[in-house]
Amino acid sequence: MIQRTLAILLPLALLAGCGRPATDEAAEVAADPPAAEIARAQPGLPRKPSPEGARVWFISPADGAEVTAPVVVEFGLEGMELRHAGDAAEHSGHHHILLNTGLPRMDLPIITDDSHIHFGLGQTRVELQLEPGSHTLQLLLGDDLHIPHDPPVMSSVIRVTVK
Protein backbone atom coordinates (compact mmCIF):
# COMPACT_ATOMS: atom_id res chain seq x y z
CA MET A 1 0.00 0.00 0.00
CA ILE A 2 2.78 2.41 0.95
CA GLN A 3 4.66 1.54 -2.20
CA ARG A 4 1.60 2.15 -4.29
CA THR A 5 1.01 5.53 -2.70
CA LEU A 6 4.62 6.49 -3.34
CA ALA A 7 4.29 5.36 -6.93
CA ILE A 8 1.49 7.87 -7.37
CA LEU A 9 2.90 10.66 -5.23
CA LEU A 10 6.42 10.63 -6.64
CA PRO A 11 5.49 11.50 -10.23
CA LEU A 12 3.11 14.14 -8.88
CA ALA A 13 5.89 15.64 -6.79
CA LEU A 14 8.16 15.69 -9.82
CA LEU A 15 5.46 17.31 -11.93
CA ALA A 16 4.82 19.89 -9.24
CA GLY A 17 8.53 20.72 -9.33
CA CYS A 18 8.42 21.53 -13.02
CA GLY A 19 8.04 25.18 -13.84
CA ARG A 20 8.69 26.31 -10.32
CA PRO A 21 11.80 28.36 -9.74
CA ALA A 22 14.57 26.21 -8.33
CA THR A 23 15.41 26.70 -4.70
CA ASP A 24 18.48 28.80 -3.92
CA GLU A 25 20.35 25.70 -2.94
CA ALA A 26 19.58 23.92 -6.21
CA ALA A 27 20.49 27.01 -8.23
CA GLU A 28 23.80 27.23 -6.44
CA VAL A 29 24.65 23.61 -7.20
CA ALA A 30 23.66 24.02 -10.85
CA ALA A 31 25.69 27.20 -11.23
CA ASP A 32 28.81 25.91 -9.58
CA PRO A 33 29.33 22.15 -9.95
CA PRO A 34 32.49 20.84 -8.29
CA ALA A 35 35.55 20.63 -10.51
CA ALA A 36 35.62 16.85 -10.19
CA GLU A 37 32.09 16.68 -11.58
CA ILE A 38 33.04 18.81 -14.57
CA ALA A 39 36.08 16.62 -15.19
CA ARG A 40 33.93 13.47 -15.14
CA ALA A 41 31.32 14.97 -17.42
CA GLN A 42 33.84 16.16 -20.00
CA PRO A 43 33.48 14.10 -23.18
CA GLY A 44 36.44 11.90 -23.93
CA LEU A 45 38.67 12.01 -26.99
CA PRO A 46 39.51 9.15 -29.37
CA ARG A 47 42.32 6.88 -28.28
CA LYS A 48 44.88 5.31 -30.59
CA PRO A 49 45.27 1.54 -30.39
CA SER A 50 48.37 -0.03 -28.92
CA PRO A 51 49.61 -3.33 -30.34
CA GLU A 52 49.41 -6.51 -28.31
CA GLY A 53 52.48 -7.05 -26.15
CA ALA A 54 53.43 -3.35 -25.96
CA ARG A 55 54.87 -2.52 -22.57
CA VAL A 56 56.80 0.05 -20.56
CA TRP A 57 58.80 -0.51 -17.40
CA PHE A 58 61.32 1.11 -15.10
CA ILE A 59 64.85 -0.01 -15.92
CA SER A 60 65.79 1.90 -12.77
CA PRO A 61 65.20 2.40 -9.92
CA ALA A 62 63.97 -0.96 -8.71
CA ASP A 63 60.71 -1.23 -6.83
CA GLY A 64 61.41 -0.76 -3.13
CA ALA A 65 64.84 0.80 -3.71
CA GLU A 66 66.43 3.16 -1.22
CA VAL A 67 67.94 5.99 -3.21
CA THR A 68 69.47 9.43 -2.90
CA ALA A 69 68.45 12.51 -4.84
CA PRO A 70 68.82 13.18 -7.68
CA VAL A 71 67.13 9.89 -8.51
CA VAL A 72 68.13 8.51 -11.89
CA VAL A 73 65.03 7.10 -13.58
CA GLU A 74 65.33 5.12 -16.81
CA PHE A 75 62.38 3.96 -18.91
CA GLY A 76 62.12 0.79 -20.98
CA LEU A 77 59.75 0.46 -23.94
CA GLU A 78 58.91 -2.54 -26.09
CA GLY A 79 56.49 -3.02 -28.95
CA MET A 80 56.02 0.67 -29.68
CA GLU A 81 58.08 3.40 -31.22
CA LEU A 82 59.29 6.41 -29.30
CA ARG A 83 58.31 9.68 -30.98
CA HIS A 84 58.18 13.35 -30.08
CA ALA A 85 54.90 14.81 -28.86
CA GLY A 86 52.96 15.97 -31.90
CA ASP A 87 54.23 13.13 -34.09
CA ALA A 88 51.26 10.88 -34.86
CA ALA A 89 53.08 7.83 -36.26
CA GLU A 90 51.17 4.58 -35.76
CA HIS A 91 51.96 2.62 -32.60
CA SER A 92 54.12 5.36 -31.15
CA GLY A 93 54.16 7.74 -28.22
CA HIS A 94 56.23 9.33 -25.48
CA HIS A 95 56.77 8.60 -21.82
CA HIS A 96 55.07 10.19 -18.82
CA ILE A 97 55.89 9.71 -15.15
CA LEU A 98 52.99 9.74 -12.73
CA LEU A 99 54.64 10.86 -9.51
CA ASN A 100 52.81 10.24 -6.24
CA THR A 101 49.47 10.15 -8.03
CA GLY A 102 47.00 7.65 -9.46
CA LEU A 103 46.05 7.00 -13.06
CA PRO A 104 44.48 9.90 -14.93
CA ARG A 105 41.44 9.64 -17.19
CA MET A 106 42.43 7.54 -20.17
CA ASP A 107 40.42 9.47 -22.78
CA LEU A 108 41.89 12.94 -22.20
CA PRO A 109 45.38 14.40 -22.62
CA ILE A 110 47.56 13.81 -19.57
CA ILE A 111 47.80 17.09 -17.70
CA THR A 112 51.13 18.75 -16.98
CA ASP A 113 52.02 19.46 -13.37
CA ASP A 114 54.51 18.31 -10.74
CA SER A 115 52.83 14.89 -10.60
CA HIS A 116 52.44 14.38 -14.38
CA ILE A 117 55.82 14.72 -16.07
CA HIS A 118 55.99 14.61 -19.88
CA PHE A 119 58.95 13.49 -21.96
CA GLY A 120 57.75 14.90 -25.26
CA LEU A 121 61.21 14.89 -26.82
CA GLY A 122 61.34 11.12 -26.65
CA GLN A 123 63.59 11.03 -23.57
CA THR A 124 64.18 7.68 -21.89
CA ARG A 125 65.90 8.97 -18.74
CA VAL A 126 65.54 11.73 -16.17
CA GLU A 127 67.16 12.79 -12.91
CA LEU A 128 64.44 13.67 -10.42
CA GLN A 129 65.04 15.90 -7.42
CA LEU A 130 62.79 14.09 -4.98
CA GLU A 131 62.30 15.13 -1.37
CA PRO A 132 63.38 12.67 1.33
CA GLY A 133 60.68 10.11 2.07
CA SER A 134 58.53 7.62 0.20
CA HIS A 135 57.42 8.20 -3.39
CA THR A 136 55.44 6.24 -5.96
CA LEU A 137 56.21 6.31 -9.67
CA GLN A 138 54.38 4.86 -12.65
CA LEU A 139 55.10 5.13 -16.36
CA LEU A 140 52.26 5.80 -18.79
CA LEU A 141 52.79 6.15 -22.50
CA GLY A 142 50.84 8.88 -24.30
CA ASP A 143 50.25 9.45 -28.00
CA ASP A 144 51.08 12.57 -30.03
CA LEU A 145 48.31 14.40 -28.17
CA HIS A 146 49.38 13.04 -24.74
CA ILE A 147 46.36 10.71 -24.62
CA PRO A 148 46.96 7.18 -23.28
CA HIS A 149 46.55 4.36 -25.80
CA ASP A 150 43.85 1.70 -25.88
CA PRO A 151 44.69 -0.48 -24.07
CA PRO A 152 46.96 1.80 -22.02
CA VAL A 153 50.68 1.08 -22.12
CA MET A 154 51.75 1.55 -18.52
CA SER A 155 54.15 0.12 -15.98
CA SER A 156 53.31 -1.18 -12.57
CA VAL A 157 53.63 1.30 -9.71
CA ILE A 158 57.00 1.31 -8.00
CA ARG A 159 57.82 2.80 -4.61
CA VAL A 160 61.18 4.29 -3.72
CA THR A 161 62.47 5.78 -0.50
CA VAL A 162 64.71 8.81 -0.77
CA LYS A 163 67.15 8.97 2.14
* Interacting residues with Cu ion (CB under 5 A): 118, 142, 146
CB of 148 to Cu ion, least distance (A): 10
CB of 137 to Cu ion, least distance (A): 16
Cis peptide before 51 (omega within 30 of 0): no
**CA distances from residue 141 to 75, 83, 119, 134 in whole angstroms, order as listed:** 10, 11, 10, 23
CB of 146 to Cu ion, least distance (A): 4
Q: Is 4 left (phi over 0), alpha (psi -120 to 50) or beta?
A: alpha
Neighbours of 45 (CB within 10 A): 13
Q: For Cu ion, which is the closer residue by CB, 55 or 84? A: 84
Q: For Cu ion, which is the closer residue by CB, 70 or 86? A: 86
Provide DSSP, 16-70. Answer: HHTTSPPPHHHHHHHHS--HHHHHHHSPP----B--TT-EEEEEESPTT-EE-SS
Q: For Cu ion, which is the closer residue by CB, 105 or 118? A: 118
Q: For Cu ion, which is the closer residue by CB, 58 or 119? A: 119
CB of 86 to Cu ion, least distance (A): 10
